[in-house]
Amino acid sequence: MPKNTLLRKLAKEHGTPLFIVDHDVLRANYAEFKRRLPRVQAYYAVKANPAPEIVKTLFETGASFDVASIGEFRLVYENIRDLPPKARQDYIWDKIIYANPIKDKATLEELDQYKPLVTYDNLEEVRKIRKHAPHAGLALRIRVPNTGSMVELSSKFGAAPGEAADLIAAAFDAGLVVEGLCFHVGSQCTNIDNYVQALNMSAQVLDETAGRGYKLKLLDIGGGFPAPYDGSIQRFRDLAKVLNAEFRRLFPKELEILAEPGRFMVATAATLVAEVIGKAQRDGKRCYYLNDGIYHTFSGVLFDHCQYRIKAFKKGPTQLCAVFGPTCDALDTICQSEPLPELNLGDLVHSEHIGAYSHASSTWFNGFPPAKVVHINV
């Protein structure tokens, strides 16, 4: 069945707004990641879209998981709770990383029983982990360039590379075990040089640390792998080619390398179908109002600096239009210049590649509920 026909059929069956997740796309994205980066274990960044159905599908494909809250940890744990205790503990150790460098004490105390791998980037966190989660393994997050990434993270997290060896030594002196390093080049990173610089900085830190008697065994290269929102985004295979070359040049074969793809896994796996509920002419511009907006599935416009294309199902001459969400807040502006044909009340529109950092941030603001979610090809 053609995609547009399927979207309209599902909208008629379930109503709108409707957030449609295609699990065949999830599996294909995971397979491509593994094919292009065979040395890297993919730890899905649950925050990109924490739908339990998505976690289950990726778990079944063999994915590992990057969690950043105790709620996300529990969500992943639900998928492994039926494993025997020994297998469950091995899974937590090998396939879950708690990748938020800052953790409250209650979270650490709950995590400690599972002996997890957690990140840190400062001395205060070392003291906190020693007191509340002494059985955890550690990975030091270092600050690396985020130039050109859609969402910059280096101003909030990451130790300066020059202090990395001291922070690793401090953790060992506290009786903890540092397993490796991690970094993040920024979300939707289209600047390959960020990765190149980060890998070279990591290699230098690993060498310095080894020289001080601490040989680390893993490197977490974080997320940032760009989703192909449009034809201007550099192909993943080109980035992978550079990364594989740098792995071979910089690191011994025994070093374990992992990554935290979130957007790459889910962005292209979901489509939103919404309805035109209002229409006006303002200052010479056609304005349309949808039953989904910035406080809901289009939250990525605000929080993720992402602009989603809005497409009509009908054909015809287009004009640049403003598109708004349903709430009474003027912030609820989806876009100001979307080329659309003449639409009528009740017509449907859709937005593709909207699976990451979108529905995950939906609210009930102004009394409007989030879009209904439908999973296909589960």
- The CB-based long-range contact list for 247-256 (8 Å cut-off, 24+ gap) reads 247/39, 247/199, 250/199, 250/200, 250/202, 250/203, 251/203, 251/206, 251/219, 254/217, 255/206, 255/217, 255/218, 255/219, 256/41, 256/180, 256/217, 256/218, 256/219
Contact 157, 141 (CB under 8 A): yes
The C-alpha atoms of residue 216 and residue 176 are separated, in whole angstroms, by 13
* Residue 302 three-state SS: helix
Buried b / exposed e along 75-103 (16+ C-beta atoms within 10 A)? bbbebbeeeeeeeebebbeebbbbbbbeb
Active site residues: 328
Report which residue type is found at 354: I
Sole residue written with tokens 């639900």: 78
Burial (0-12, 13-18, 19+ Cβ within 10 Å), 309: middle
As a whole number of angstroms, the distance between CA 67 and CA 358 comes to 18
Say which residues have a Cβ less than 8 Å from residue 49's Cβ, sequence separation at least 6.
Answer: 21, 262, 266, 270, 355, 356, 357, 358, 359, 360
- The single-letter DSSP state of residue 299 is G
